[in-house]
């Protein structure tokens, strides 16, 4: 792990104030827990801890948060009602919706995404279960850091050259180091090593996504009707149970094709979308010579369950070089190792570009690994897939 010291050349590009986080939750236990986690991190601080959405709306001008963790169910003004009011007062506010794992709250979380929320996070049913609390902590801090960091990048890129820099913490961890300026990022993305598409016509489409994925997936499946008509589409989105059930319903409406959570042992057929169910890895296998879904209750991979790598890697035994994989927006590097295996087997990988990604973690990892045949804006991926599955190999 690289370490940069304040005042050193490496630290000159990483001088940022801690992210200001506003916690809005009617549970004093949850507020206290999240507050302790945030204050223990060098790159973020608690700007306010509030009990209701009304408190947040009334005080946001004074608090000036970068990120809000917003509970759904609160007295006086609930999260979904407070959301548009907060964004009206601070358009660049990153809002992460927090809710328990119920169908109603999952549906509200999807509505919140359409209203401008950046992401969602499921709260554990009890904070006394260490494993559940650890996962919640890890996911929440990563979302705050990466989503908040993207807003900070945009502000920094627009800041005058003579603006006074804010002193950085004495020690900066690799995960909190500031990204390159926008112009440098564009230049480096243009210089990414790309390879030719595999010579074999694709016979299946695999998609992996995480943060920002639900919105990206909805847009993508709406553009690839001709592909879905003739080929199976398998998707792993980092998402808990209940949420994947509702996402499948949204994908069915957006694509106008059958879409559902994969069922262990079911046959994989053209014309359908199969989504990895929350809490299970979705792999593929052969049964009687035909491809089938194989669900796996093993440990998390890349901190995720479901994870993208198990789907990507397992598909090689079924479709060999006839795989086209897409890595969409998301934190971390899930999908990169599986993508390497796909390319080694003769298949191809496309990654979403940085500008259109909510977080350029997963697609960035794939792109920087040199395994992608194309790195494209989201609105260009669908048309490209239609051409590739129609025989265009350019």
Integer-rounded Cα radius of gyration of the chain: 21
Rounded distance, CA 233 to CA 285, Å? 15
Q: Which of 210, 255, 348, 357 is catalytic?
A: 210
- Residue 255 CB partners (closer than 8 Å, separation 6+): 221, 222, 224, 225, 228, 273
Residue 209 a catalytic site member:
no
Q: Which of 25, 139, 309, 334 is catalytic?
A: 334
Rounded distance, CA 234 to CA 203, Å? 12
Q: Which of 146, 238, 250, 281 is catalytic?
A: 238
Q: Which helix (H) or strand (E) holds 356?
A: none
Rounded distance, CA 120 to CA 98, Å? 6
Asked whether 118 and 358 are in contact (CB, 8 A), the reply is: yes
Residue 131 a catalytic site member:
no
Rounded distance, CA 60 to CA 17, Å? 18
Distance from the Cα of residue 379 to its chain's centroid: 17
Structure letter (DSSP) for residue 358: S
Query: Among 242, 14, 37, which residue's Cα sits nearest to residue 141?
Result: 37
Asked whether 154 and 169 are in contact (CB, 8 A), the reply is: no
Residue 257 a catalytic site member:
no
* 238 half-sphere exposure, CB direction, 13 A CA radius: 30
Residues tagged active-site: 210, 238, 334
């Amino acid at each position: 792990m690289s370490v940069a010291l304040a005042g050193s050349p490496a630290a000159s590009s990483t001088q940022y104030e801690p992210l200001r986080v506003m916690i809005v939750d009617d549970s004093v236990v949850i507020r206290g827990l999240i507050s302790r986690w945030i204050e223990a991190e060098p790159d973020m601080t608690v700007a306010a801890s509030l009990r209701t959405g009304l408190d947040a709306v009334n005080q946001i001008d004074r608090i000036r948060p970068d990120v809000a963790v917003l509970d759904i169910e609160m007295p006086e003004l609930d999260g979904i009602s407070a959301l548009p009011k907060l964004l009206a007062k601070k358009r660049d506010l990153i809002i992460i919706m927090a809710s328990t794992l119920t169908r109603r709250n999952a549906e509200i979380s999807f509505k919140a995404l359409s209203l401008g929320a950046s992401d969602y996070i499921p709260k554990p049913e009890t904070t006394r279960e260490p494993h559940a609390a650890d996962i919640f902590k890890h996911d929440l801090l990563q979302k705050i850091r990466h989503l908040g960091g993207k807003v900070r990048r945009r502000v920094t890129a627009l800041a005058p050259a003579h603006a006074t820099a804010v002193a950085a913490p004495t020690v900066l961890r690799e995960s909190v180091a500031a990204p390159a300026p926008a112009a440098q990022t564009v230049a480096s993305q243009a210089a990414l090593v790309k390879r030719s598409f595999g010579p074999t016509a694709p016979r299946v489409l695999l998609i992996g996504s995480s943060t920002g994925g639900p919105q990206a997936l909805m847009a993508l499946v709406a553009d690839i009707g001709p592909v879905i008509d003739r080929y199976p589409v398998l998707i792993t989105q980092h998402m808990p149970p209940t949420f994947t059930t509702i996402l499948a319903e949204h994908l069915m409406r957006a694509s106008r094709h059958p879409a559902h959570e994969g069922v262990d042992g079911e046959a994989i057929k053209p014309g359908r979308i199969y989504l990895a169910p929350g809490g299970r890895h979705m792999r593929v296998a052969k049964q009687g010579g035909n491809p089938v879904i194989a669900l796996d209750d093993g440990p998390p991979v890349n901190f995720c369950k479901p994870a993208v790598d198990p789907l990507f890697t397992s598909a090689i035994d079924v479709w060999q070089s006839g795989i086209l994989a897409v890595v969409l927006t998301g934190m971390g590097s899930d999908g990169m190792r599986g993508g390497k295996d796909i390319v080694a087997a003769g298949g191809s990988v496309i990654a979403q570009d940085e500008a259109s990604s909510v977080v350029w973690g997963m697609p960035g990892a794939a792109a920087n690994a040199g395994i992608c045949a194309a790195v494209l804006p989201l609105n260009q991926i669908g048309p490209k897939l239609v051409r590739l599955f129609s025989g265009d190999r350019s």
